[in-house]
Structure 1
Amino acid sequence: MKWSEISIHTTNEAIEPISNILHETGASGLVIEDPLDLVKVRENVFGEIYDLDSSEYPEEGVRIKAYLPMNSFLGETIEEIKQAINNLLIYDIDLGRNQVSLSEVNEEEWATAWKKFYKPVKISKKITITPTWEDYTPVSSDELIIELDPGMAFGTGTHPTTVLSIQALEEYLNTNDTVIDVGCGSGVLSIAAGKLGAKEVFAYDLDEVAVASTRLNAKVNKMDQRITVKQNNLLDNIDMEAKVIVSNILAEIIVRFIDDAWNNLVEGGLFITSGIIQNKKQHVKDELEKQGFEILAVNEMEDWISMVARKN
């Protein structure tokens, strides 16, 4: 079978929303070529830097690549993707060059070539994310392993917004807490919460692909008995008492359900938000405080921000 590789030259700010658009249109095997990966200062424990070739990266911005089957609907699908990306301008998201190009790829080549970019990565003190095809042995007795298949949906779980969310969960989550994951995507945050000791996790996403992906990843990580997954729009019609609500989603979406988050948290409960860009930071902070939340922490990684807020 032949596939068409769609390549979008854009900005770091647009990675998450464009990735979501690609997944919603049925794209597979997402690859992000970010030149910042070439200069990151990090431990080379797993050798993930050695596989990177600078000639494959743009000089500025980022390239997002995904793969679509070459069929009679390809032209329409490409136009839908372009239109959806252009619509992101409504939300003041910088698209940079916003150049879209196509090339043909044979299935056998694609099926294995993209895997070289994914290696085990330790993203917090306890949690390491590893592709399902990698043989990985924990280096310490308290290390927690999350296995993901990036070919399923929503990337590898190592984007800064995800890392910030997991680091916050690791710091603030207590054993036997009830957790809600809003916009669960691949389910990586739900799985992390379960591995960190949450009694039960409720994962919600409007996208049926995300719901299926979360269920599958939860099963792979033996967390399916602890994680309840449901297709739902944010926290609409959800009524429960959770100790922690975590959401790695766009700032514009976060502010829409702050009141619902408040209503579904116990006194002293925590609202962990991520996916916030710099020019949205103050707006999210103001809306949280307006609702009555106390901001406990504001953490940053690269150009991304997460906040931890407590219901007083």
Structure 2
Amino acid sequence: MKWSEISIHTTNEAVEPITNILYEAGASGVVIEDSFELVKKREDRFGEIYNLNPDDYPNEGVIVKAYLPVNSFLGETVEEIKSAINNLILYNFDLGMNQVTISEVNDEEWATAWKKYYHPVKISSKFTIVPTWEQYEPVTTDEHIIELDPGMAFGTGTHPTTVMSIQALERIVKNGDLVIDVGTGSGVLSIAASMLGAEKVLALDLDEVAVQTAKINIKLNKVNEQIDIFQNNLLDGIEQKANVIVANILAEVIVRFADDAYHLLVPDGVFITSGIINLKRQEVEEKLLQTGFKIKETLVMEDWVTIIATK
């Protein structure tokens, strides 16, 4: 089967919304090549440091690559993607070069090319993310291993917004908690919450592909008994009260359903919000405070922010 690789040269700020646009358009995998990876300082208390090949990264900015099947609708799909990306300017996203190129790859190349970017990474004091095709031996007896195959859904588990979300869950989740994961993507946050002792996790995502892939990852990590997952638009129609609600999605979306999250949390419940670029931080904080939340803690990594708020 033939696949078309669509490549967007943009900024780190625009990676998350562009990734969402690509998956909504039917993309079957995403690769992110960030020039910052070549120069950023890494803390050696958790992660492994790899020798990166500069030839695999742009000289500046970020290249987001996605894969679409070659069919009679490809031209229309590409134009819809371009239009949706350009519309991000209306939300004050810096698109950088915003250069879009198209090339063709075969099925075998698509299935393996992106895997070279993804290795076991210890992202916190308790969690290590391991791709399913890698061998990894735990370093400590209390280390949690999350196996992921992110090829068809959102997130590899190593993006700053995901890392901070998991670190926030470590601080908050207690044995017996009920957790709601809004926009579960690959399911990594739901898996982490269940490993931290949550009695039940409700995992929600609007994207059917993400739901199916999350189900696979949840079963792979043997936590399917604790996690219920289904397709849903944010918290629409949800009535189950929760101790913790976590959402690693766009700032604009968090603002839209903050009131619903407040309503569903028990007294002293916690709302963990991530996926927030720094320039959107004030907007989210103001909405949370207006809704009735108290901001307990804020985590910052690179240009990304995660907010822990209590009811």
User: 1:49: which partner in 2?
Assistant: 50
Find the aligned partners of 1:60 and 1:44 in 2 and give their Cα distance.
28
Contact 2:152 2:209 in 1 (8 A): no
Q: Percent identity?
A: 65
- Cα offset for 1:201? 0.3
Residue identity opposite 1:100 in structure 2: V
Contact 2:152 2:210 in 1 (8 A): no
Residues 25-66 of structure 1, C-alpha deviations (whole Å, 9 max, x = no match): 22223110001111232339875522x211221122100011
Residue identity opposite 1:225 in structure 2: E
Contact 2:7 2:101 in 1 (8 A): yes
Residue identity opposite 1:186 in structure 2: S
1:277 aligns with 2:260: no
User: 1:241: which partner in 2?
Assistant: 241
User: 1:160: which partner in 2?
Assistant: 160
Larger mean CA deviation between 184-193 and 71-80 belongs to: 71-80
- Cα offset for 1:306? 0.7
Find the aligned partners of 1:108 and 1:45 in 2 and give their Cα distance.
33
SS at match of 2:270: strand
Find the aligned partners of 1:70 and 1:255 in 2 and give their Cα distance.
37
SS at match of 2:29: strand
Residues 197-231 of structure 1, C-alpha deviations (whole Å, 9 max, x = no match): 11000011122122212212111111111111121
SS at match of 1:28: coil
Find the aligned partners of 2:219 and 2:120 in 1 and give their Cα distance.
19
Alignment of 1:26-175 (within 5 A): 26-42=26-42, 43=44, 49-50=50-51, 52-175=52-175
User: 1:199: which partner in 2?
Assistant: 199
Residue identity opposite 1:163 in structure 2: V
- Cα offset for 1:188? 0.9
1:14 aligns with 2:43: no
Contact 2:6 2:67 in 1 (8 A): yes
SS at match of 1:223: coil
Aligned length: 310
- Cα offset for 1:143? 0.6
Residues 224-282 of structure 1, C-alpha deviations (whole Å, 9 max, x = no match): 11111121111112112211000011111111111111111111100000111222111
> Once superposed, what is the RMSD of the aligned Cα atoms?
1.6
Larger mean CA deviation between 300-309 and 272-281 belongs to: 272-281
User: 2:3: which partner in 1?
Assistant: 3
Distance 1:270 1:236, change over 3 A: same
Find the aligned partners of 2:45 and 2:59 in 1 and give their Cα distance.
23
Contact 1:48 1:118 in 2 (8 A): no
SS at match of 2:116: helix
Residue identity opposite 1:32 in structure 2: I
- Cα offset for 1:183? 1.1
- Cα offset for 1:293? 1.0
Contact 2:204 2:229 in 1 (8 A): yes
Report the TM-score when normalising by structure 2.
0.95
User: 1:264: which partner in 2?
Assistant: 264
Residue identity opposite 2:214 in structure 1: T
Contact 2:11 2:95 in 1 (8 A): yes
Distance 1:46 1:291, change over 3 A: closer
Contact 1:24 1:209 in 2 (8 A): no
Residue identity opposite 1:80 in structure 2: E
- Cα offset for 1:77? 1.5
Structure 1 residues without counterparts, runs of 5 or longer: none
Find the aligned partners of 2:106 and 2:48 in 1 and give their Cα distance.
28
Structure 2 residues without counterparts, runs of 5 or longer: none
Contact 1:29 1:151 in 2 (8 A): yes
